[in-house]
Structure 1
Amino acid sequence: MFLAVGAMALLCLMSVSHSAPLGCEHLLRPLHQLDPRPLEGRWALVAGSLSHLPYLDRFKQRDSAAVNFSSNTSDTNISYSRSIRLDNKCLYRSYNISLEGSSFTYDGTDNLTANFVHSSCQDCLLMRMDVESGKRQHLYLFSRRREVEQEEMEEFRAQVECLNMPPPVVMDAHKELCPGAQTEEKLEGQKD
């Protein structure tokens, strides 16, 4: 009799635990192994949060941003370039990064650790960065789309909250992204 009551109580607790909101450990779990091939291409910044308030204020000023990943024929070394539209100007920066599991490092930089975090969004990329041994944290949500569904944004807000960071800044999906860096170089040549 006690065994039956105990089993019934356990079943009830299990059903309650499955319907409970996801815990922070689950929300922030890193990807185990990243395949770089689906990573390739352009990703628009949808939202982001930074723990360092002066940087967050600067982050809020950008009109749009995107990243582009391209493989160098290696599964562990890839190129990463970012474009930021700020004050109607496009700023570009390129990096070489080394992938290891869900983590990556910028070549030549030892004060930044970064990893890719799980997201329920199928065409999203969630990047978590710790700068200067965790003194500053950044969490960025990228997608192949300019906007994500409300549930996907709520998940991102919960992930930001788990890190005790300020509420995310959501990019205006109607503001233009910068053209690819190659296109911009061509445009600059035409201006002369």
Structure 2
Amino acid sequence: MLPVLVAVLALALARAAVLPTCAPLVPAELDNETLTGLLGKWIYLMGSSKYPPHLEELRAVKHATFFFHPGSHPDELNVTEIMRVNETCVTRNSSTIQVFRQNHTLMHVDGQVTAMAHLIKSSKDLLILRHVNNGYPGLSLSARSPNVSKEQLEEFRAQLACHQFADDEIFLSSEKDACPEPGEQPGEEEATQAPQTA
């Protein structure tokens, strides 16, 4: 009996030694202040997913900037996305975010396609989402600017490792692939008229 107890305690201590590096992802309270803080511009930096359709999308998106605007009611945000999909700049402004305050959930609605995520409590300049799609986990990191500290990136990479995402399942955006935003450059009309992708 004693050898079994010693083995169980050793296993528990080994797990305890690993767990502190895996800080829990705590959902943010989706109150009016939080939702107001989401408004404006965000730059997608990195993400990962075990959900096959999202993995394909992550492979294709080289850079993305998105804007949250007030929706038609307090629990809705309108979204404008400007992204480079492979070699093409695409602007979409037809999707919304539905907010479910009681279970800390955001639902991205784009036509007939929906995706669920929990907003994770973090710095006001970071947007961390834990995606929940058909039981497949996913995590994404966006920020107010591309200049995120090395420590913040390392913390997010540690979370990806904690959630058992392999290196080939992690996709980073590249600032050099950014598409011009409306009003940024004289030729931006051509970029925003690129064919839409599903």
What TM-score do the two structures reach when normalised by structure 2? 0.68
Percent of pairs with identical residues: 22
The 8 Å contact of residues 51 and 138 in structure 1, kept in 2 or not, is answered as: yes
Instruction: Say whether residues 1:164 and 2:164 are aligned partners.
Output: yes
Contact 2:43 2:143 in 1 (8 A): yes
Structure 2: distance between partners of 1:47 and 1:180: 23
User: C-alpha distance in 2, partners of 1:139/1:175?
Assistant: 22
Partner residue of 2:64? 65
Q: Is the 8 A contact 1:46 1:146 kept in 2?
A: yes
CA–CA distance in structure 2, aligned partners of residues 78 and 90 of structure 1: 23
Which residue of structure 1 aligns with residue 28 of structure 2?
A: 31
TM-score of the superposed pair, with normalisation by structure 1: 0.70
Q: 1:124 aligns with which of 126, 132, 153?
A: 126
Cα distance change of structure 1 residues 113 and 176 upon mapping to structure 2, 3 Å threshold: closer
**2: CA distance between counterparts of 1:73 and 1:126?**
24
Corresponding residue for 2:43? 44
1:103 aligns with 2:105: yes
The aligned counterpart of 1:115 is 118
**2:112 & 2:56 partners in 1: Cα distance?**
24
Alpha-carbon distance in structure 2 between the residues aligned to 1:53 and 1:147: 30
1-side partners of 2:53 and 2:30: how far apart?
A: 34
Partners of 1:189 and 1:57 in 2: how far apart? Answer: 22
CA RMSD of aligned residues (A): 3.3
- SS, match of residue 80 in structure 1: strand
Q: Using the TM superposition, give the Cα deviation of residue 79 of structure 1 relative to its aligned residue in structure 2, in angstroms.
A: 0.8
Which residue type is aligned with residue 81 of structure 2? R
Distance 1:56 1:178, change over 3 A: farther
Structure 2: where are the runs of 5+ without partners? Answer: 1-15, 194-198
Alpha-carbon shift at residue 178 of structure 1 (Å): 4.3
Find the counterpart in structure 2 of residue 176 from structure 1: 178
Q: What secondary structure is seen at the aligned counterpart in 2 of 1:155?
A: helix
Counterpart for residue 90 of structure 1: 89
Residues 46, 148 of structure 1: 8 Å contact kept: no
Q: 1:163, CA displacement in angstroms?
A: 2.0
Q: Does 1:153 align with 2:153?
A: yes
For the residues of structure 2 that align with 1:52 and 1:85, how far apart are their CA atoms? 21
| Distance in 2 (alpha carbons) for counterparts of 1:23 and 1:127 | 16
Query: How far did residue 188 of structure 1 move?
Result: 4.0
Q: SS of the residue aligned with 1:90?
A: strand
Tell me how far apart the structure 1 counterparts of residues 137 and 80 of structure 2 sit (CA, whole Å).
Answer: 20
1:190 and 1:39, CA in 2 relative to 1: closer, same or farther beyond 3 A?
closer
Aligned to 1:21: 20
**CA apart distance, 1:157:** 0.9
Corresponding pairs, count: 166
